[in-house]
Structures are given as structure tokens and as C-alpha cells.
Amino acid sequence: MRKMEAKKEEIKKGPWKAEEDEVLINHVKRYGPRDWSSIRSKGLLQRTGKSCRLRWVNKLRPNLKNGCKFSADEERTVIELQSEFGNKWARIATYLPGRTDNDVKNFWSSRQKRLARILHNSSDASSSSFNPKSSSSSHRLKGKNVKPIRQSSQGFGLVEEEVTVSSSCSQMVPYSSDQVGDEVLRLPDLGVKLEHQPFAFGTDLVLAEYSDSQNDANQQAISPFSPESRELLARLDDPFYYDILGPADSSEPLFALPQPFFEPSPVPRRCRHVSKDEEADVFLDDFPADMFDQVDPIPSP
């Protein structure tokens, strides 16, 4: 029994102390970022190799942007890359100098939660006072007009009148020539011609299909989407969503120029205080893809 307890005590968990960090840093200085399990076998730390590696990668590695909020560019980069790669956080993180996969993952998770909550609140409001003929402004999220954006592996999201955003991703590694570039693409099935920039492809598919679905009963037959995606798209039939997204036959252009972005804040987290209103704007600046993933189905009114 005592032996078991001793065995248990051998592995330390929980927050890291400065002394432990120091030991870990010294080890890396000496041997490089490898042989993590040897740290414990040598008796340097009572931590597992995995724990050591994680600590190094997420907190101790040089040039990490610890304590910095994600800049606008970084946010956009994450959103774009997530729509392309899915939840490949490590891969996405390679596009963001100073960010770890954990950072990206946490950032995304926070956004998903926030979006789900806001959408949920919005749906609550709409179910109690929805009126299809009423001014759409009453159903727009905090007065902002949003449109669907991009198809991804898991669904689609909304964006505030903003589709082509890659140009602002200064840190984004350019696409190779065999990928979608600045060109006009024709969507044969839908007969929609769209100006493209990289990453906007899926977006346009959704926009085209969304627009089409408003008056095309055969939408499903021509849909290039998976059944899951179609189900998500079908929610657009919900008058509330329709209102949120704006009228399909709106005279507003499908593709608006990118909105001016707020200045990326170099101030560390918790140093930059954001008011409620400002936060709402930031949130609406770029809805992520897959925002519906975490949202329960809305009961039709």
C-alpha cells in the first residue's frame, strides 16, 4: 500500500513551478527538445515525458506570444485555415508564429462557445417575438447584417458582409499555384459566376446554394453537400435564420469588400479591456466556420 502511494507520488501533476520550468529549460538547453521521458528517468523532474513536452511546447519555448490576445489577422487566419484543414490545430498553428496548437484550440473553442450562446439567445428571442414581416433589424445580431460563409468539413458559418478575407492574413503562407487563386470560377450546377480569392471557394458555394435554395425546390438534387451539410443548410429555411442572413433577393451585393479591421492589439490578455459593445463588434467581424456545430437544432416557430 505504502509502495503504491509512493509510486503515485512519483508522478507530479498540476501547475508547474518556476523551479520545474528551470530544470526543464536546462534540460532542453543541454539535450534539445527531445528525450522527454529521460527527464523523469534521470530523476530531474517527477513529471511524465508528455507533461514535460507539453510544458515546453506551450509555455517555455522561445518566441511564444504568451498572454497576447489573438490579433485580427491571427483570428482570420485561424478561421480560414480551420475551414480548410478542419481541427488540425497543430497544422494551423504552424501558420501562426508564436502560437501553439493549444492556443489555437482554446481560441477556437472559446469562439464556438460564445457563438453558440449568442445564437441560442437570439433564437430564444426570436421564438417569443418573431414576425417574418417585421424589420429585419430586429433579428439581426446586435444590428449587424450577417451572411453565410464557407462550407467546411463540419458545416458553415456566418460572416458580417464579408467574404474575401485572405488578403488580410499577412502571416498566411501563400497558396501554391495549383490551388484556388485570384480567378473567376464558375459553378456549373448553380450557374453562378463568382470572383474568387483564395479560401473563398467554399464560401461562395454556400452563398450560391443559400441563394438558390430560397426559390429552388430541387435544391437538394443539385446540392454538392453532404447530407449533414444539407441539413444545416436546410435550417436556412427557418424564417429566423433567413432574417439573420438577410433576404436572398437583396439588392445588396453578395460580396462586399472587407470591412476595415480593428487594430491588432499588442497588449497582453487582460490588459486590453473590451467593452461589451466593442466585444460584440469583434465577434461579429468574422463568424467562424462550423458555428452551428455546437448549436442545438432550433425549433421551428
**What type of residue sits at position 256?**
A
Is 51 a residue that touches DNA (CB under 7 A)?
yes
Is 14 a residue that touches DNA (CB under 7 A)?
yes
* Among the residue ranges 12-20, 171-179, 237-245, 257-265, the one whose residues contact DNA (CB under 7 A): 12-20
**Rounded Cα–Cα distance for residues 121 and 117 (Å):** 6
Joined together, the cell numbers standing for residue 277 give 459593445
Sign of CA dihedral 272, 275, 281, 284: positive
Sign of CA dihedral 220, 225, 226, 232: negative
Residue closer to DNA by CB (options 88, 144) is: 88
Is 110 a residue that touches DNA (CB under 7 A)?
yes
Can you list the pairs that 17-20 forms with residues at least 24 positions away whose Cβ atoms lie under 8 Å?
20/45, 20/47, 20/55
Listed in order, strand segments (DSSP E) in the chain are 147-151, 156-159, 184-187, 192-195
x/- map, 74-103, DNA, by CB under 7 A: -------------xxxxx---------xxx
Residue closer to DNA by CB (options 222, 271) is: 271
User: Taking the CB of residue 260, how many other CB atoms lie within 10 A of it?
Assistant: 7
x/- map, 161-180, DNA, by CB under 7 A: --------------------
Q: Report the site for DNA in 235-294 (rule: CB under 7 A).
A: 269-270, 273, 275-276
Alpha-carbon distances, residue 178 vs 18, 91, 132, 198, 269 (angstroms): 48, 20, 45, 11, 39
Q: How far is the CB of 41 from DNA (least distance, A)?
A: 7
**Rounded Cα–Cα distance for residues 93 and 115 (Å):** 22
Is 114 a residue that touches DNA (CB under 7 A)?
yes
Cβ(266)–Cβ(131) under 8 Å? Answer: no
Residue closer to DNA by CB (options 94, 214) is: 94
Residue 144 DSSP label:
B
Number of residues written out for the chain: 301
Q: How far is the CB of 35 from DNA (least distance, A)?
A: 4
Is 220 a residue that touches DNA (CB under 7 A)?
no
Q: How far is the CB of 55 from DNA (least distance, A)?
A: 6
Residue closer to DNA by CB (options 183, 277) is: 277
Query: Taking Cα atoms as reference points, which of 165, 172, 194, 196 lies closest to residue 260?
Result: 165
Q: How far is the CB of 268 from DNA (least distance, A)?
A: 7
Using CB under 7 A as the binding criterion, the count of chain residues that bind DNA stands at 46
Q: Can you tell me which of 46, 59, 136, 256 binds DNA, judged by CB under 7 A? A: 59
**Rounded Cα–Cα distance for residues 136 and 247 (Å):** 9
Q: Can you tell me which of 66, 153, 166, 171 binds DNA, judged by CB under 7 A? A: 66
Interface with DNA by CB under 7 A: which residues?
A: 12-16, 34-38, 41, 47, 49-51, 53-55, 58-59, 66-69, 87-91, 101-103, 105-107, 109-111, 113-114, 117, 269-270, 273, 275-276
